[in-house]
A and B are shown apart, each in its own frame.
Chain A
Amino acid sequence: MASGKKRDLRVYPGFRGMTWFCMALLYAPMVVITVYSFNSIRSITTWGGFSFDWYVKAFNNPSIQQATLNSLIIAFAAATFATVLATSAAIAMIRGRSFRGQSGVFALLNLPLMIPEIVTAVATLVFFLAVGIDLGLMTVFIAHAVFCIPFAYMPISARMEGIEGYYEEAAQDLYADRWASFRYVLLPMLLPGVLSGYMLAFIISLDDFIITNMVAGPGATTLPLAIYGKVRTGFTPEINAISTIMLLISCLFVTGSYLAGRAGKRRGEQR
């Protein structure tokens, strides 16, 4: 190299720019939503002046709070359940030799992805009623858990495919039983995939409308149901206010994970 400048081989020109473009694309609407949550008039697109009115309204609206809480509960539960199942399935699918019917199992695991939501929604509703399961939060949870599985499965299995089998063998060789080798070796190595899968499942559940709309029972109104149900009276900045609060909650997660990552790094350096 004539320049003699040390080139970092991992850097590709334009990738950083593309990342910022991606972030701008994702966050531009967030800015609009947040700004209009402080609107003084009942509009999400016309600016009438600054006020906290919609936050006050949201805090005094038990039904929208309940809907938000329902959404979060369902998303936490369904994403966790789906991630656990997907992780165990990914391990079984990828570790070891191929077995008869493996592509069938693969197709089955990804089946929920292939069905238009409205069809899943109607079919699941009919099924629940035929079997005699009472509609409620539980049915929403079940339906969400099912279609979250492939969303969690994909990143986890992608990650799993990249982890050589010898790490687990090494762990077992070093007196780790199956659980310890999973807990101390495979899981930490799998964690980025698990985290991706969990986040995907979480946001998929959080945002689902069509299926929830069909299978929700008494007391199971979620936030998307509330938002779509506002067609009779129109969107108000109250929704923006709730959305902004949700953004704040999620930012707490970001901060938390950053701090945890830093702590982990420091711990690693100390030893």
Chain B
Amino acid sequence: MKLKWKTLMTALTVGLGLAVAGGGGVQAAGELKIYNWFDYLPQSLIDKFSEGHDVEVTMDTYDSNETLLARLTAGVKGYDVAVPGDYMVAILIQEDLLERTEPNTFPNFKNMKADLIDIYFDSGRHYSIPYQVGTTNFMVDTAVYDGDIDTLAILFDPPDVLKGKINMLKDVNDVLNAGLRYLGYPRCNDNPEQLKELNALLAAAKENWLSFNSDGAKEVLVTGDAAVGQIWNGFGMRARDERKSLKYSYPKEGFTGWMDNIVVLKGAPNLENAKKFQNFMMDPVNAAELTNFAQYTAGVMGTEPYLKKELSTAHELNIPDDAPKPEFVPPCPEKVVRLYDKIWTNLLK
């Protein structure tokens, strides 16, 4: 009994001690605090930046754009750099939560892909630089169904073999936007008639769906539980590694593109280092290293020589010429968000 008591107390003391010690302790000249998805930035790049600029880099993690927003609007301070998605950049700018760093004046800006400069959420790139670019589509197991997969009918009016074997992402926008595209209606739609039609379409289609699952979007396809599944393209490529018969679709009705961006947060304690980081990540060598790790697509030119071969040829990462262009969907007005919420709740009640 005595032994256990002592162990407990020691553990407590050590634990608290470490907790306190963890707060301080900076050896390098500068600091950079990055707020990012977990495992989205390779350690090698962190080390490289850290050594190159004598900066101690710390990384913290969030799981969704919304968590980032909630924390920033609540007033969380202390981070220099974050990696929000496209629509979230628009919101953060509107809410005045970002530092206008003018990346367009940085030396490495010359590497930017031209079509990503005048993007709707940050036209002219005054705040953000692209981190990774991707698309959200679905994959089909061609061993189960070998017909035409480049249509949203696979999701909303599936052939019999695919019925009951479809996984959707548990994300209101990914599901509703796909439905709107299938119906040929615009995004951020507040037309009541069209939304009623969408509501009916989803309710009918749900009968044929197996599940709504984002966390296991890859696993559900790989294990064969689902033969069709909405998925992000980089994920899709990894799924294909494990199940060769999976094929990524580029539906003719259109699809969503997304882009994570490096932004500097308002009041960043290490503003200069943050700017250096933005510039650093626009270097094609670094962007390529990131892309090799994260397996989506870089937003700068000149990465090809450094990319892994399978990335430059992967069907998932290279949009075919005959496919529509990816659509970056802006954040919808409040009224539309409420209507979408209602449809979503109704679908999943």
Indicate whether A and B interact: yes
Which residues of A are in contact with B by a Cβ distance under 8 Å?
A: 41-46, 60-64, 67, 69-70, 72-74, 76-77, 80, 122, 125-126, 129, 134-138, 141, 188, 191, 209, 213-214, 216-221, 225-236, 256-257, 260, 263-264
Report B's interface with A, CB cutoff 8 A.
1, 3-4, 7-8, 11-12, 15-16, 18-19, 22-23, 33, 36-40, 43, 58-64, 67, 70-71, 74-76, 78-79, 214-215, 218-219, 222-223, 234-235, 238, 241-243, 260, 293-295
Docked pose: A129 CA to B73 CA in angstroms? 11
Least CB distance from A17 to B in Å reads 30
Which residues does chain A contribute within 8 Å of B33, judged by CB atoms? 218
Chain A residue nearest to B11 (CB atoms) is A76
B238: A residues at CB distance < 8 A = 42-43, 234
Residues of A within 8 A of B219 (CB): 44-45, 235
Q: Which of A70, A218, A229 contacts B38 (CB 8 A)?
A: A229
A218 touching B78 by the CB < 8 A rule? yes
Measured in the bound complex, the distance between the Cα atoms of B40 and A18 in whole Å is 44
**A100 CA to B215 CA in the complex, in Å?**
49
A63 to B260, CA, bound (A): 21
Give the residue of A41, A61, A219 whose beta carbon is less than 8 angstroms from that of B22: A219
Given A137-B22, A219-B58, the answer on whether A43 and B222 have CB atoms closer than 8 Å is yes
Given contacts A213-B67, A218-B33, 4 further A-B contacts (CB under 8 A): A67-B61, A217-B60, A228-B61, A233-B40
Instruction: Check B222–A122 contact: CB distance below 8 A.
Output: no
Contacts of B19 in A (CB 8 A): 73-74, 77, 137-138, 141
Contacts of B242 in A (CB 8 A): 41, 43, 45-46
Whether the pair B15, A73 counts as a contact (CB closer than 8 A) is: yes
Given the complex, which residues of B lie within 8 Å of A226, measured CB to CB?
38-39, 61
- Cβ of B88 to closest chain A Cβ, rounded Å: 14
A259: nearest residue on chain B (CB-CB)? B3
**25 A-B residue contacts at CB 8 Å?**
A41-B241, A43-B241, A46-B223, A46-B243, A62-B43, A63-B43, A64-B39, A70-B22, A73-B22, A125-B71, A129-B76, A134-B78, A135-B76, A135-B78, A209-B63, A213-B67, A218-B79, A219-B23, A221-B60, A225-B62, A227-B38, A229-B38, A229-B39, A229-B62, A233-B40
Question: Closest CB of chain B to A227's CB: distance in Å?
Answer: 7
Query: Measured between C-beta atoms, what is the minimum distance from B47 to chain A in Å?
Result: 10
| Chain A nearest CB, measured from B345 CB (Å) | 16
Please pick, from B64, B76, B218, the residue contacting A125 in the complex, using a CB distance under 8 A.
Answer: B76
Known interface pairs A229-B63, A233-B234. Does A125 touch B74 (Cβ–Cβ under 8 Å)?
yes
Q: Would you call B74 and A77 a contact (CB within 8 A)?
A: no
Our pick among B23, B75, B215, B243 for the contact of A231 (Cβ within 8 Å) is B215
Kindly list chain B residues whose C-beta atoms are within 8 Å of the C-beta of A122.
70, 74
B340 to chain A, nearest CB (A): 19
CB pair B59–A63 under 8 Å, yes or no, is yes
CA distance A76 to B16 in the complex (A): 9
- A-B pairs, top 10 by smallest CB distance, nearest first, are A229-B38, A229-B61, A76-B15, A228-B63, A46-B242, A232-B37, A226-B38, A129-B75, A80-B12, A218-B78
Interchain CB contact under 8 A, A225 and B63: yes
Q: Kindly provide the distance from the CB of A53 to the nearest chain B CB, expressed in whole angstroms.
A: 15
CB closest chain-A residue, reference B215: A231
Known: A42-B241, A141-B19, A234-B218. A76 touches B12 (CB 8 A): yes
A231: chain B residues at CB < 8 Å are 37, 63-64, 214-215
On chain B, the residues within 8 Å of A42 by CB distance are 238, 241
Most buried by B among A76, A77, A234: A234
A231 and B136 alpha carbons, distance in the complex (Å): 14
Q: Which residues of B contact A233 (CB under 8 A)?
A: 37, 39-40, 234, 293-295
Q: Which of A122, A225, A229 has the most CB of B within 10 A?
A: A229
Known: A41-B242, A45-B219. A217 touches B61 (CB 8 A): no
A141 CA to B79 CA in the complex, in Å?
A: 20
Which A residues are CB-close (under 8 A) to B36?
Answer: 229
Q: Is A46's CB under 8 angstroms from B78's CB?
A: no
Q: Which residues of A contact B58 (CB under 8 A)?
A: 218-219
Residues on A with C-beta less than 8 A from B79 are 218
How distant is the Cα of A233 from the Cα of B38 in the complex, in angstroms? 8
Report chain B residues within 8 Å CB of A216. 60
Q: Shortest Cβ distance from B221 into chain A, in angstroms?
A: 10
A70 contacts which chain B residues (CB < 8 A)?
A: 22
